[in-house]
A and B are shown apart, each in its own frame.
Chain A
Amino acid sequence: MTVRRIDQGQRFRPRMAFLKKVEALLVEMQDPNSGIKMHTQRVMITNIPHAMTGADMLHWIMQRLQITNEEALHLGDLMVKYGYIYPLQEPKNLTLKTDSSLYRFQTPYFWPTQKWAADDTDYAIYLAKKNIKRKGLLEEYEKEHYNVLNKKINHKWDFVIMQAKEQYRTGKERKKVDRYALDCKEKAYWLVHRTPVSEPLSNTLARQEIMYYQQAIMKSTVKSSVSLGGMVKYCEQFRTNDPIISGCLPSNPWISDDPEFWDFNAKLVEIPTKMRVERWALNFSELMRDPKGRQSFQLFLKKEFSGENLGFWEACEDLKYGDQSKVKEKAEEIYKLFLAPGARRWINIDGTTMGITVRGLKHPHRYVLDAAQTHIYMLMKKDSYGRYLKSPIYKEMLAKAIEPQETVKKSSNNPFARRHLRSSPSPIILRQQEEEAKAKEAARIVDITQVMSKLDRRSQLPPPPPAAKCSFWLF
């Protein structure tokens, strides 16, 4: 089975909504009364109908859409470039000429679509057919393409030859005039979709291309077996946690109209569910992603006197995702609170990182604290996380965690019953509550710090040197 096209996601799929609109316009052009006037094209001794002049087309577009000359010319030009209409006298010149040069409509099979990309196999068949017809006289770029395709889809080459021969022979069953017209159409299609390169690349473009390819080679690649194994492992691990695949425990709120599931899994709920707490043990990033997990972890770190690490990490996240206007002041605050020598909540990072960060802070931006943040993250992951999972705080949380029971659906199948639609609290209110909680937390820390600093001054203990390995810092 051939992978026809790698879907890279919406970012790489250009929006082609205009295709349908152009097609509607094209159908209107066919109207015998109000469409474009048709002439016949004379080819040697035969007449082929349905040719139109560029001027007629331009005039029709201007009249139908009520637009200016330039706009109509541009639109007509685009129609030719996309392959809806092809020129008869100069096939390679894909522009709309407003004199009496003739154009014809392309058959709907060859219209541009997003679904069916112009395929290599089809192109190879076309080139082979052309080879048979012209007895080996292909153009230079076509010969190159032919050789490249021979190597690229070599396993299909026998089929390509067979199909090309058959298509060539089948073509003979049609009227000679039709065969000629069809050949022109196919040629026009491939001129649009495999445009011949008219001039070699300029120096700058070539240099850019070389740089791009060099960088692409240097990108680290992972064996697909490894990445697929990782994906399988992830799916197996998280499968029970997924509410869509494994069902969600009190009941699915969308089905039963019962928001208990959301209540139980609120951001900072008092007692989290068992599944949620177990999830924290799978992975450090899972713990950090969950606000309740972070709260619990913070409690633990405070007991170990390394709470400033998590505080710093959260402050960095706030800097990264917060307002652009507040970046400078936030960065300064973080420096004063965590990084300056003798700071209140000084974090322990190595000399080089500190140097980089301090230098970066001269011109602060969102990501200036990235290096320090990563360092602290890895420190927490390697050091504190393991101890957290064995700590009584975590174990207590796990024991207290609730396992919601599956509720029996209250069978009110009466469609006319009035449903109680409870609205969840407004996000504005939720955010206000969060800010209040944060402020309270900060105030609490400040109080303790002031108390402790008073105690320090009284006992006149010299402050331990900042370069200490362990971060026992009373605050």
Chain B
Amino acid sequence: MVKEECKALLDALNKVTACYRHMVLTIGGTSDSQNLREELKKTRQKAQELAVANRNKLTTMLKDKTVSKEDRAEFERLWVIFSTCLEILEIDMRRALELGQEFTLNVPKRHLIQTGMSGGTSGVAARAMSVQNMKYEADHNIDVVDLKDLENEINQVGEMMYEMEMKVSVPQWTVEAKQDPGAELKSTISVGASSIGMISVEENKSFCDISKVLAGIIFTAVLIIAIVLAICVVKLS
């Protein structure tokens, strides 16, 4: 029960981290804009909330002495995933700060690097925030204003990681990965297969249904004809 919750929270954090990484990749390029900076801000705030939620849940579970051995191993594995995710998030935040300071947007002489990318990242941001469409409501100079907040948040994340290290001692190297090398292939194939399978199952089901209905109709029709014939035979004889 708790394990599933932890896993779900971790998946969410993972998703937001991936989206954040995608967005940081675009800073400084031609698809950089004030909107992108706002998206970055919102995404990382969401990431921080998720990180805090994850940490609280996992620390309570890891501090609980009544947890069984397999469960504890599982929680340790989740803990390692969580701390690695947080490290990647922190690095991306630091890089975003560096790049944001270098590539401020409203300076006329400062040209953005022509990277060949022209589209926006609103889809990515929407995926991160789990909304349908992104709303942009920030000022025109959010790229500069946001940097201070970003610095504070980086410090916060750094402190959180330090506290985590101090409070919970999980030796990282003892965790064994559950997935074998090449697992990503299997799961996507199985995802593909399962989706195809699901489609075929549905089709089968619908076919079955139709055939069943048809069979039913034919059966009842045959039954009625048989009854009518029997009555006729009886009547005639």
Can you name the residue of chain B whose Cβ is closest to the Cβ of A30?
Answer: B111
B197 at the interface (CB under 8 A from A): no
Can you name the residue of chain B whose Cβ is closest to the Cβ of A164? B184
Interface residues on B, range: 35 or more
- Check A173–B124 contact: CB distance below 8 A: yes
| B111 touching A163, Cβ below 8 Å | no
Q: Chain B contacts of A1 at CB under 8 A?
A: 83, 87, 161, 165
Verify if B110 is at the interface (C-beta below 8 Å from A).
yes
- Which of these binds chain A: B65-73, B114-122, B202-210? B114-122
Q: Return the chain A residue nearest B10 by Cβ.
A: A162
B17 to A50, Cβ gap below 8 A?
no
Given A30-B112, A157-B179, A181-B116 in contact, is the A173-B31 Cβ separation under 8 Å? no
Give CA–CA (A178, B176) in the complex, Å.
37
Contact residues in A for B111 (Cβ distance below 8 Å): 27, 30-32, 35
Partner of B119, one of A132, A135, A164, A175: A175
Q: Are A108 and B119 in contact (CB under 8 A)?
A: no
Do B173 and A181 touch across chains, with their CB atoms under 8 A apart? no
Chain A residues, Cβ within 8 Å of B30? 50
Interface centre among A104, A108, A166, A175 (most CB of B within 10 A): A108
Answer yes or no: A159 CB below 8 A from chain B CBs. yes
Nearest CB of A to B127, in Å: 5
Q: Is the CB of A116 within 8 A of B25?
A: no
Check if A163 sits within 8 Å of B17, measured CB to CB.
yes
- Indicate if the CB atoms of A132 and B80 lie closer than 8 Å: no
Shortest Cβ distance from A111 into chain B, in angstroms?
Answer: 9
Q: Would B116 and A51 count as touching, CB distance under 8 A?
A: yes
Measured CB to CB, the closest approach of chain B to A147, in angstroms, equals 6
Q: Provide the residues of chain A in CB contact with B131, threshold 8 Å.
A: none
Q: Which residues of A contact B119 (CB under 8 A)?
A: 174-175, 177-178
Question: Once bound together, how far apart are the Cα atoms of A159 and B183, in whole Å?
Answer: 12
Residue of A nearest to B164 (CB): A1
A107/B177 contact (C-beta < 8 A), A1-B161, A163-B18, A181-B115 known: no
Q: Is the Cβ of B15 less than 8 Å from the Cβ of A166?
A: yes
A147–B119 Cα gap in the complex (Å)? 36
The docked-state distance in angstroms from the alpha carbon of A154 to that of B124 is 29
Does B123 count as interface, using CB distance less than 8 angstroms? yes
Query: Which residues from chain B contact A174 at a C-beta distance below 8 Å?
Result: 22, 119, 121, 123-124
Complex contacts, A105 vs chain B, CB 8 Å: 113-116
Instruction: Report the minimal beta-carbon distance from B81 to chain A, rounded to whole angstroms.
Output: 4
Determine whether A121 belongs to the interface, using a CB cutoff of 8 Å to chain B.
yes
Q: B96 → chain A, closest Cβ, in Å?
A: 9
The digit string for B81-101, where 1 denotes a CB below 8 A from any CB of A, is: 101110110010001001100
Q: Is A26 an interface residue (CB 8 A)?
A: yes
Q: Which of B18, B84, B179 is A166 in contact with, Cβ under 8 Å?
A: B18
B54 within 8 A of A: no
Q: Counting chain B CB atoms within 10 Å of each CB, which of A30, A166, A167, A170 scores highest?
A: A170
- Known interface pairs A158-B81, A164-B184; A121-B88 also in contact (CB < 8 Å): yes
A109 near B24: Cβ-Cβ < 8 Å: yes
Instruction: Kindly identify, within residues 13 to 31 of chain B, every residue whose CB is under 8 Å from any CB belonging to chain A.
Output: 14-15, 17-19, 21-22, 24-31
| A131 and B28 contacting across the interface, CB-CB below 8 Å | no
Q: In the complex, what residue of chain B is closest to A156 when comparing beta carbons?
A: B84
**Complex: chain A residue closest to B175, CB-CB:** A155
Give A117-159 interface residues, CB cut-off 8 Å to B.
Answer: 121, 128, 131-132, 135-136, 146-147, 150, 154-159
Q: A107-B29, A159-B81, A165-B187 are in contact. Are A170 and B22 (CB under 8 A)?
A: yes
Closest to B187 in A: A165
Query: Across the interface, which residues of B come within 8 angstroms of A163, CB to CB?
Result: 14, 17-18, 85, 88
Q: Judge whether A109 and B176 touch: CB under 8 Å.
A: no
CA distance in complex: A115, B102 (Å): 15
Q: When A116-B91, A146-B181 are in contact, do A108 and B81 touch as well, CB less than 8 Å?
A: no
The answer to whether A161 touches B29 (Cβ under 8 A) is no
Q: Nearest Cβ distance between residue A434 and chain B, in whole angstroms?
A: 50
CB distance from A372 to the nearest CB of B (A): 49
State in angstroms the CA–CA spacing of A127 and B173 once bound together.
Answer: 22
Evaluate contact between B185 and A135: CB separation under 8 angstroms: yes
Q: Complex: how many Å from CA A295 to CA B115?
A: 70
Alpha-carbon gap, A159 to B91, bound state (A): 16
Contact flags A170-195 to B (C-beta < 8 A → 1, else 0): 11011101100110010000000000
9 cross-chain pairs, A with B, having the tightest CB-CB distances, nearest first: A173-B123, A108-B28, A157-B177, A175-B119, A30-B111, A166-B18, A50-B114, A50-B116, A155-B175
Q: Which residues of A contact B (CB under 8 A)?
A: 1-2, 23, 26-27, 30-32, 35, 38, 41, 48-51, 104-110, 115-116, 121, 128, 131-132, 135-136, 146-147, 150, 154-159, 161-167, 169-171, 173-175, 177-178, 181-182, 185
A and B contact pairs by CB, cutoff 8 A, 9 listed = A108-B28, A108-B102, A109-B25, A158-B177, A158-B178, A162-B14, A165-B187, A170-B22, A182-B25
